[in-house]
Amino acid sequence: MSDSDADTRHVGGRGAVLLVDHGSRRTEANALLDEVAALVKQRLGARSIVEPAHMEIADPTIAQGFTRCVEQGATTVVVHPFMLAPGRHVTEDLPRLVAEAAELHDGVAFAMAAPLGSHAGVIDAVIDRCQGALLDAQSGKD
């Protein structure tokens, strides 16, 4: 595989990550996705392209987020549904909305990542949060 092939197959270089949640009327809920996107970008490296988007209710929309990825040079956009389960939004709505966004950008491919689900990292986070709550409860904190 040449270096140019690697750029289009791996996150970073000419690949991008578009993190998508449902979207909320609560500003602080939407801000969480911005924080997650910044943390993912930090982990992947400063040259990586990572953008947040909301499926509905709030900006940036999927189309806006996809365009931001392309404007930064992405030729492949990996769309990650920042959701737990593969419900209707993940299996029907997101693929349709992403395909519509991609149609506006000739030569740009996309791939859908799986939702968070039962990934080992999610299970670790559940255990960590529950242990923290238990310790707080045992020490008399709320």
- Give the pLDDT confidence score for residue 3 in this predicted structure: 36
Question: What predicted TM-score, i.e. pTM, was given to this entire model?
Answer: 0.85
Amino acid type, 93: D
User: With DSSP H G I counted as helix, E B as strand and the rest as coil, what are the percentages for the chain, rounded to 5?
Assistant: 50, 20, 35
C-alpha angle 38/9/1, rounded to 5°?
140
CATH architecture of 3-117: 3-Layer(aba) Sandwich (3.40)
What is the average pLDDT across 41-68?
96
Instruction: Name the token pair of 4.
Output: 């140019």
- Give the pLDDT confidence score for residue 14 in this predicted structure: 84
* Crossing angle of the two packed helices 62-71 and 94-102, in degrees rounded to 10: 40
Q: Share the mean pLDDT of the chain.
A: 90
pLDDT grade, residue 141 (50/70/90)? low
Domain borders along the chain are: 3-117
| Distance in angstroms (rounded) separating the CA atoms of residues 133 and 17 | 32
pLDDT grade, residue 140 (50/70/90)? confident
- Give the pLDDT confidence score for residue 142 in this predicted structure: 55
pLDDT at 120 over 90: yes
CA 70, 72, 73, 78 dihedral sign is negative
**pLDDT, tens only, 65-116:** 999 999 999 999 999 999 999 999 999 999 999 999 999 999 999 999 999 9
- Give the pLDDT confidence score for residue 28 in this predicted structure: 94
